[in-house]
Amino acid sequence: MTTTTTRRDLLKSLTLGSCSLVLSPLIRQLSAQAAGKNEFPQRFVFVVKSSGLTPGAIVPDNFVQDYVVRKKSYIAGEGYTSGIQMKDCNQLVQRPLKDAVLNYSMKSLEPFKDRLTILQGLSGNMVTGGHMSGYGAMSCMKDMMAETIDHKLSTIYPSVFSHLGLSTVTATMGARFADSVCYPGISAASNTKTLPFHGSPSQAYQSLFGSVATGKDRKQFESQGNLFDYLGEDVEALRKVLTGTEKEKLDYHLEAIEALQKQREGILAMSDQIKVGKPQFSEKYTNMTIEDRMEAHCEIAAGALISGLTNVVTIRTDGLGSQYNKLGFVGGQVHGIGHGKVPEGADSVDHARGLIRGFQLENMAKIAASLAKIPEGDGTMLDNTTLIYFSDVGDKHHASNREWPYIILGDMGGRLKSAGQYIQYPHKGHEAHHTIASWWLTLLHASGKPQDGFGMKDSKVDPEVQRGPLKEILA
C-alpha cells in the first residue's frame, strides 16, 4: 500500500468515524494546505476585567494633552470617579501608534505596537450599567442571558473545545475560588444556556493536557474515559423505561455525555499537537492567589491555542471581591478600590488600578509572545490571533456605559485594518457615533458572517449606524 493511499484511507476513516465532528476543522485545514491554500482558523482571546476600564488611562502619554482632561479625583455617591477623564470628542480620530509613548500600564505591549489598536469612544447604553453588565458586555442585551460574541465566533471557527472559559473567581461579588467548573455569567450559547468556565488551573490543565501527561494525571484522564463509558451504558438503560419530561431531561444528560466523549476522542487523536503546546505544570497551578491563578490560566490559554484544542478563549481576570496583594500594594480588593479606597503601598486609586491593569495586560502579552514563536504559513500563529482586553462594564466602577474602551492586539490575519492605530469615535450625541455592537459586528463581518445588527439597539443612536460594522476598521 502506498503512502498516498494510506493517507487517503486514514482521512476517509476519520471523516466517517466518531471523531468526525471534533476533527473536521483540523481535516479541513490539512486538506486546504495540501491543496496549496494557506487557510488557518482565526483565533480569539477575550480578556475580561471587572470594575471598568478608564478610557483616559490608556491614552498614550504623548497624546494625553489632546484627549484627556485631568480633574481632581473625587468620591461620588456611586463610587470612585477617576480624575483622568476624556475630553468631549465630536469627530473621528485616527492616529498611528508608531511614535506613541504607551502608558506605564501598557508597557508590556510595546513589542506589539504595530499590531495594537486602542479603540475609544464607543458606547453601550443598551446594556445594564452599575457594577457589572453580566452577559451584556458580549451580547449587547440588557438584563438577560443571550448568545455572546465569543460563542458566536466559536461556531464559525469550531474546535475540540469550541469555547474555553477560564476564570480566577466563581462569583463576581466574591473571591470564592472554584475547584473545577464555575459560571461567572459573562458568556452564553443562547438565552437558556450559560457557558461553563474552569475555575481551577489545575483542573483545566488536566482536562486539556491530561492525555499526554504521565503518572497520576494520565491515570485520572483514563479513569474519566471509563466513567463516561459506564455512564453512557447506565443512561441508555434508564432511558428505555422513562417517558415524557423525565425522558427529555435524561436526553439532555445523554447529549452532554456524548459531547464529552467526542471531545475526549478529539483530544486523543491530537496527542502530538498537544505535546507541543502543553505548558509546564508548576506550583502556580495549585496556589490560591489571584495573581498565580491568572498567570496559570494565561499559560493554559496559550497552550490550548498552540495545541489546536480551541480557537476561542475567554479569560475572566477578576471579580469585585478579588484581592491583589502581590503587585506592590496590600489589601487591594477590587470593589474597595472602585469605591475610592487607596490600598497600602499605592499612591492613589488610579495608580492601584493601573498596576492591576498592567498585570493583566502583561499576561495577555505573554500569550501573544508564545503564539509569536509558533510558525504558521508565512508567519506565526499570532498573525491569525486577535486578543481583546476590556471590562465587563464600561469606563468605570459604577459605569453608565457611555464609554466602553478596548485594547486590541491583532488584526484577524489582515481582515482588520486598524492595527498600529489609536482610534477614537465621536462621543455619544455627535454624528457618526457608534456603539459596542458595531465592534462585535466588525468581527463577524471579518469572519465572513455579516449581520445587520447584534443584540439590542440604543434608541438614542442613529439606527442606521447600528446596522453594520465599523467601516474604518474592517479591511
Rounded distance between C-alpha atoms, residue 138 and residue 386, angstroms:
16
Instruction: Decide which of 167 and 229 is more confident.
Output: 167
What pLDDT is recorded for position 473? 97
Assess contact for 205 and 198: CB atoms under 8 A: no
Average pLDDT over residues 145-165: 95
Assess contact for 394 and 402: CB atoms under 8 A: yes
Q: What does the pLDDT look like over 317-339, one tens digit per residue?
A: 999 989 999 999 988 899 999 88
Confidence label for 206 from pLDDT (cuts 50, 70 and 90): confident
CB burial readout 286-317, b (16+ within 10 A) else e: eeeebbbbbbbbbbbbbbbbbbbbbbbbbbbb
CB half-sphere exposure, 411, CA atoms < 13 A: 19
What pLDDT is recorded for position 275? 84
What pLDDT is recorded for position 216? 56
Q: Is the pLDDT of residue 24 over 50?
A: no
Rounded distance between C-alpha atoms, residue 189 and residue 196, angstroms:
10
Q: What does the pLDDT look like over 276-310, one tens digit per residue?
A: 889 999 999 988 899 999 999 999 999 999 999 99
Average pLDDT over residues 358-363: 98
Q: What does the pLDDT look like over 391-433, one tens digit per residue?
A: 999 998 888 899 999 999 999 999 999 999 999 999 999 999 9
Q: What does the pLDDT look like over 51-96, one tens digit per residue?
A: 999 999 999 999 999 999 976 554 444 456 677 889 999 999 999 9
Q: Is the pLDDT of residue 219 over 50?
A: yes
Task: Tell me how many helices (H) and strands (E) the chain has.
Answer: 13, 18
- The model carries a pTM of 0.84
Residue 24 cell numbers, joined: 473536521
Q: Is the pLDDT of residue 456 over 90?
A: yes
Q: Which amino acid is at 418?
A: S
Rounded distance between C-alpha atoms, residue 121 and residue 251, angstroms:
47
What pLDDT is recorded for position 73? 53
Q: Is the pLDDT of residue 26 over 60?
A: no
